[in-house]
Amino acid sequence: MSRIGKAPIEVPKGVEVNISNKNLVTVKGPKGTLEQAVDPDITLKQEGTEITLVRPSDAKPHRAKHGLYRALIANMVKGVAEGFVIEQELVGVGYRATTKGQQLNLALGFSHTITIDLPPQIKVAAAQEKGKNPIIRLESADKQLIGQVAAKLRSLRKPEPYKGKGVRFVGEVVRRKAGKAAGK
């Protein structure tokens, strides 16, 4: 058995899980509503406050999907109950971030500012303290979506290894390289 797949999913209070006959899982909670279609081979069982997933055989595709769908549903339950937060910092002289509704404006050392329209499921905030790097804070119930947006922001200006400038996750360690060696 898959170690991840066989672990039951604990549903906290205030979260409602609905499993339709077409294996469509809908999770409602205080942070929002999420849906996920599950492969028809995987059987979902709800007993009280626990959800378990059962696979029909030990075939490789069934083993892979067993753990995958268990992880996706567990992330949905956690997301609608608590939500997910990702913080990124902008390291570099003149790097700035401002927000206006669902728009994020970034100054990343290019000749123009970059404007990104974020999905309505994501809450964004930009903080700038004197003497510290600007921080972008993303909040959402959907782990997949927030991770995808964070990766997109990071790809605009990846941290470079010589000075460490770029968009990085808070707490991320960037391996630094030595620059050119001075003359003999």
Q: Domain spans of the chain?
A: 3-81, 84-169
Sheet holding 114-117, edge to edge: 96-100, 103-107, 114-117
3-state secondary structure of 72: helix
Residue of higher predicted confidence among 183 and 43 = 43
The CATH code for residues 84-169 is 3.90.930.12
Q: How far apart, in whole angstroms, are the C-alpha atoms of residue 50 and residue 8? A: 6
pLDDT > 90? residue 96: yes
pLDDT given at position 1: 47
Given pLDDT bands bounded at 50, 70 and 90, which one contains residue 108?
very high
Question: What are the CA-CA distances from residue 30 to residues 20, 34, 142 (Å)?
Answer: 21, 11, 13
> If you average pLDDT over residues 126-153, what whole number do you get?
94
> If you average pLDDT over residues 43-56, what whole number do you get?
90
pLDDT given at position 165: 93
**3-81, superfamily in CATH?**
Ribosomal protein L6 (3.90.930.12)
What percent of the chain stands above pLDDT 70?
97
pLDDT > 90? residue 23: no
Q: How far apart, in whole angstroms, are the C-alpha atoms of residue 70 and residue 28? A: 17
Q: Do domains 3-81 and 84-169 have the same CATH topology?
A: yes
What percent of the chain stands above pLDDT 90?
69
pTM, two decimals, is 0.87
pLDDT given at position 181: 78
pLDDT given at position 184: 60
pLDDT given at position 183: 62
Q: How far apart, in whole angstroms, are the C-alpha atoms of residue 102 and residue 123? A: 7
pLDDT > 50? residue 65: yes
Reference 134, options 162, 163, 105; nearest CA is 105
